[in-house]
Structure 1
């Protein structure tokens, strides 16, 4: 443990291993323990000096005894050895499912006579070509099995070992699985449906000769414009620290902006806190598909190594990530986090037609990203900082649609045909974001702003006057809000202490440019399981025990009993408080045939931008472009159309960034 390690840095392999070793020495965990995550207790660690050791919590299970515990501990520091604290019992059903646990139950299912017999009825006898994905069963547990740690399985068949594992669903077959005893309890068999007759491979050359694509090179001859010191990053007046947790994956800490020599805080913490994916199809092999991908599996261990493809371009700084796997071993995700700059088209521009002069500045952004592979789907999360003080989160959805089989001649009611005897159900993706704002200090308020026509005819004699109407969200009882683009609605996160030169509170504006609502009947399991998706923004007063919007242990939890809707009942004051904001990004996925056999990227996101935070445009000091593509004087004296826009997360080009580590990644799930 080095003295310069910051409290917010990701846990190191040594820290994880030393705490696990202490837990393993305790007899109560039995001979076959399983683990689900270790994380720093951030609210306690924040006040500690560097190098003192860090408080953590870890979850361990004894499947043979149907028991689980949450264990508190300290990592070693310059003045202390690693040690354990308390053991708190947890409902044994409810810790999340690790990839290792999933693989064990999948292998057990392939060996089960019940599944072997059911597949033989469908002409499938080579079990090495069968895949079983154990799925979370929260809200759909059979009543006679309610006390057991359960899963249910989706079953897939490959024609060859290198076939697309998600192209041929075995329809109508649902094994109910016990995760502790590793057995198939029973099989639901809804009848034999013909298998897909068409392949689903998407590798180069499968569907014809590759097209010609001209090379596109991204270079920075003088190196990147950012500086990295451990996990602290500075770039274009911005400063922040990179963290990583088992539950949320990438976390940004203490995001500040240097305004003429004054470090002004904007966010204390930012993360993707939860992901909920409900499938909206009554098909017997699809209706149970409802996942808390973070709370039931964990973003950390599902993080993909970015050296397995071309995810970032240019001068890149990678960060390895570390997670605790289900067997208690440290999992290294080589190049789990990517940091790089991008050109982002025009920052600002004006042509003076009277003088013929033009001023244009190109925008660049700093992007901090990671990818999580959740079985068939791949999700990219891109936090971007801009030179004008804006912050964006973009979520990119790609991978393979989760499909179901359909009988000959049938038409999907709640989906689309994507291949013969294969339908893709309608579903949704909800991303619950956690923002701990600190706009010009720790005490903030949330104000909702919308547009209204001025009805007073004396003030609006021509009928065209509009005003923006602010409403302070004073307490948690009011703090479940809906986005509404028809009213130009947005939210201001205001400082409770500082004002600008116009005597307004300094603030940042939060916008959710596109989102959706849940299309499920009130009272349905889908609706009750994740009530937080019923609003587009929640706000709470900071409480260190309220860490996750769906509750601490959503796996096999009672529906609608925990999480943010329960916290709101306290109705704590929010005006001038330490706030936590929970934006909900929801995308409604009505599949298209063009998204098969692999899905082009879909996008959703949010934007934070200064709103009275600065005196004027903070990017006035950005210099004109010196790119070779810009002719001399193009920024001053011409219309400046010569600069090419290179900014994109291009998945098809070569990656010219230097890898900090050369080993192969282990992050793909």
Structure 2
């Protein structure tokens, strides 16, 4: 029996042994479907390696309109795999697996109802048609509300290798029963001409490729990190790599080694949810608002990464594993990538009086994965820095989700990207879960903003500015909005440790300009994801409160579950086991340059040590190349430069221009 740390990603053997027990139970029927298996982390954390792990999985019996959350144990040194309990779940609400999506697409293509509608548009070979089952949460027809439903976006290819996402079949909206795999309703809003221009993007499609000089990244002595199992150590940092069905990549036990002290920063960090609302009333676009994690799952959507394409340099890959829609263990080869990157200057100063120069180049460790959600591709890059900072960057690329448009019409709520093709304005929200542990388990959240000093006796020159700190005392106060105009940021403070100045040791959370939701209050889009109304939330840790949108957001009652419901308890947060939930929002008003495949857009946040250290923790980083970057190598040039410009330099000094 191989010893496993409690936080290690679930293994194919664990998936198989638990799924086999479930498949042997008669209640699941002849055609069971699965959605996700996960380690019960709150229970597993206390276990020694090799004891087996508590897990939960979701299984459905579509023939009986039934679903369960099943809990059990994987095998360990002294136990066999076992099942503990079957808890019924509303059969409408488990997420949709990729296998289920393929079954739906095939059934829709074979439907006489859809074939007839496609024939009106000149499409007779339905093997060239794609049908993507989409979340219908909030838009269920009243007479079908008791069914497990989806609606379909329909696309057509001119050939097998065509980009189907460039050719929307406008006006057709099939409503699909996910259990019976039948189209129970077909909306037809009229025939609109198909796209007349190719949307292919392969090399050479739009002319010969340009010349690009080779760029090689080498580390002759190998990478600067060490890996033991799923534990990583690099430049005073240590952490563990995890992976789940719903969130994809997870970082556990992120800590900084400060001399002999191991100082925790985060217990856990992951992308917890992604919400993508479309802001167009077009009949084939207004229903587009998805919880890509809660309604589909990041794990199965994770892409295999390739050396030289997705990642450069000395790479360490980690495979990822998940349960498919039929209960089989699946492996994503190279699902997670880890590598070091040069990141320009870490710190620098030139002493113009002596000619001495000190400069250090910055290096960062990047841990990343990519998820492909039908047309869009999302990259998630966690970076650790030598100065103690932690950064998340989300990279958005792939293909826009477009709609057809009639000849001569102008899109009211989007942009034209090709003849008869419009791209609606839309948004992407990324909710992050940070289980904080800054210098220990008990933390507080403090909001900081800038204010002009109004007391003229204290501010006679009008330039005095105070930084005002407000402790977020309880959960009802912990729904906060970002405001760069007031220099708003947040400190995650230890309530147990102070630095040499008497301040609480802390990390600063800095967020970029992030959008707000423009959907009308009370709309389905707004009510489905009330957490996007704010940019930072905080709760007291509760092992049952795992996901910001609730455990089962698919066809859930709007706005009744998740973080806005949890906060009604108004638990105290000052000195709590704190969970901080940043929400990053991208407002995508499409450009023609985003077509037919989109160059990267970026958004992210940064956690910086703020009083966590007594001084710059990167003073011990050596020059990159001592033969060229040491202070003495610049002395001759520096002194000559100083002599030649002495008068100019002294003039600056006399005027206070350092």
**Conserved? CA contact 1:340–1:367, under 8 Å:** yes
Match of 2:479 in 1: 480
Equivalent residue, structure 1, for 2:354: 355
- Secondary structure at the aligned position of 1:304 is classed as coil
Distance 1:61 1:9 in 2: 27
CA distance in 2, matches of 1:517, 1:457: 36
CA distance in 2, matches of 1:310, 1:384: 19
Query: In the TM superposition, what is the alpha-carbon distance from 1:88 to its structure 2 partner?
Result: 0.2
SS in 1 for 2:79: coil
Alignment of 1:441-590 (within 5 A): 441-590=440-589
Structure 1 pair 454–332 and aligned structure 2 pair: CA distance change class (3 A): same
Deviation per residue, 1:640-668 (Å, 9 max, x gap): xxxxxxxxxxxxxxxxxxxxxxxxxxxxx
Question: How has the CA–CA distance of structure 1 residues 441 and 635 changed in structure 2, closer, same or farther, with 3 Å as cutoff?
Answer: farther
1: CA distance, partners of 2:408 / 2:306: 44
Moved over 4 A (4+): 627-639
1:176 aligns with 2:175: yes
Q: Whole-Å Cα distance in 2 between the matches of residues 523 and 137 of structure 1? A: 17
Q: CA deviation at 1:308?
A: 8.3
- 8 Å Cα contact 1:442/1:578 also seen in 2: yes
Change beyond 3 A, Cα 1:130–1:88:
same
Cα distance change of structure 1 residues 535 and 205 upon mapping to structure 2, 3 Å threshold: same
Distance 1:32 1:254 in 2: 40
Rounded to whole Å, the distance in 2 between the matches of 1:117 and 1:469 is 66
**1:563-600, Cα deviation, whole Å (9 max, x unpaired):** 00000100000000000000000000000000000000
Q: 196-205 or 630-639, which moves further after superposition?
A: 630-639
Q: SS at 1:199's partner residue?
A: coil
Deviations 1:41-91 (A, max 9, x none): 000000000110000000000000000000000000111110000100000
- Is structure 2 residue 320 aligned with structure 1 residue 321? yes
Q: Please list the CA deviations of residues 355-376 of structure 1 after superposition, one character each: whole Å capped at 9, or x if unmatched.
A: 0111000000000000000000
Q: 1-side partners of 2:182 and 2:377: how far apart? A: 29
State the partner residue of 1:594: 593
- Per the TM alignment, residue 262 of structure 1 is displaced from its structure 2 partner at its CA by 0.5
> Is the Cα–Cα contact under 8 Å of residues 372 and 378 in structure 1 kept in the other structure?
yes
Aligned to 1:77: 76
Name 1:89's counterpart in structure 2.
Answer: 88
What is residue 616 of structure 1 aligned with on the other side? 615
Unaligned runs of 5+ in 1: 640-669
Counterparts of 2:24 and 2:142, CA distance in 1? 37
In 1: Cα distance, 2:630 partner to 2:71 partner: 62
2:493/2:507 contact within 8 Å kept: yes
| 1:31 maps onto 2:9 in alignment | no
Q: Which residue of 1 aligns with 2:116?
A: 117
- Mapping of residues 101-112 of structure 1, within 5 Å: 101-112=100-111
Show CA shifts across 1:262-297 (max 9, x none): 100000000000000000000000000000000000
Provide the rounded CA distance (Å) in 1 between the counterparts of 2:631 and 2:405: 62
> Does 1:161 pair with 2:185?
no
Q: Contact 2:356 / 2:631 at 8 angstroms: preserved in 1? A: no
User: Residue in 2 aligned with 1:662?
Assistant: none
Residue of structure 1 equivalent to 2:369: 370
Distance in 1 of aligned mates of 2:335 and 2:616: 35
1:406 aligned onto 2:405: yes
Q: Could you tell me whether the CA contact under 8 Å between 2:355 and 2:634 is conserved in 1?
A: no
Checking the alignment, whether the CA contact within 8 Å between 1:53 and 1:80 is kept in structure 2 is yes
CA spacing shift, 1:637–1:32, aligned 2, 3 Å: farther
Q: 1:50 to 1:463 in 2, by over 3 A?
A: same
- Contact 1:514–1:605, Cα closer than 8 Å, also in 2: no
* Residue 255, structure 1, aligned to residue 286, structure 2: no
**CA distance 1:2–1:636, change in 2 (3 Å):** farther
1:597-618 Cα distance to aligned partner (Å, 9 max, x none): 0000000000000000001000
TM-fit CA distance, 1:487: 0.4
Aligned-pair CA distance for 1:631 = 9.3
CA contact (8 A) 1:625 1:635 kept: no
The CA deviation at 1:186 is 1.5
For the 8 Å contact 1:414–1:425, the answer to whether it is kept is: yes
Residue 667 of structure 1 is matched in structure 2 by none
CA contact (8 A) 1:358 1:638 kept: no
- Would the alpha carbon gap of residues 266 and 63 (structure 1) be closer, same or farther in structure 2, given more than 3 Å must change? same
The alpha-carbon distance between structure 1 residues 628 and 319, as it changes in their structure 2 partners (threshold 3 A), is farther
Secondary structure of 1:166's match? helix
Offset of residue 514 of structure 1: 2.0
Paired position in structure 2 for 1:98: 97
Q: Deviations over 1:219-254 (max 9, x none)?
A: 000000000000000000000000000000000000
Deviation at 1:457, TM superposition (A): 1.3
- Normalising to structure 2: TM-score of the pair? 0.96
The reply on whether 1:152 has 2:148 as its aligned counterpart is: no
Instruction: State the alpha-carbon separation in 2 of the partners of residues 634 and 545 from structure 1.
Output: 59
What secondary structure does 2:103 align onto?
helix
SS class of match (1:430): strand
How far apart, CA to CA, are the structure 2 residues paired with 1:500 and 1:105? 59
The residue aligned with 2:429 is 430
Residue 2 of structure 1 is matched in structure 2 by 2
Alpha-carbon distance in structure 1 between the residues aligned to 2:101 and 2:365: 36
User: Do the aligned partners of 1:476 and 1:571 also contact (CA within 8 Å) in 2?
Assistant: yes
Separation in structure 1 between the aligned mates of residue 633 and residue 550 of structure 2, nearest angstrom:
55
How far is the alpha carbon of 1:456 from its aligned partner? Answer: 1.1
Report the 3-state secondary structure (helix = DSSP H, G, I; strand = E; otherwise coil) of the residue aligned with 1:323: strand
| Matching of residue 245 in structure 1 with residue 244 in structure 2 | yes
Distance 1:633 1:304, change over 3 A: farther
In structure 2, the residue matched to 1:642 is none
- Alignment size in residue pairs: 638
- Assess if the C-alpha contact under 8 Å between 1:359 and 1:635 holds in 2: no
Q: Is 1:13 equivalent to 2:12 in the alignment?
A: yes
Point out which structure has higher relative CO (alpha carbons under 8 A, 6+ apart). Answer: 1
Question: Once superposed, what is the RMSD of the aligned Cα atoms?
Answer: 1.2
Question: Contact conserved, 1:358 with 1:637, CA < 8 A, in 2?
Answer: no
Structure in which a larger fraction of residues adopt helix: 2
State the distance in 1 between where 2:628 and 2:341 align: 16
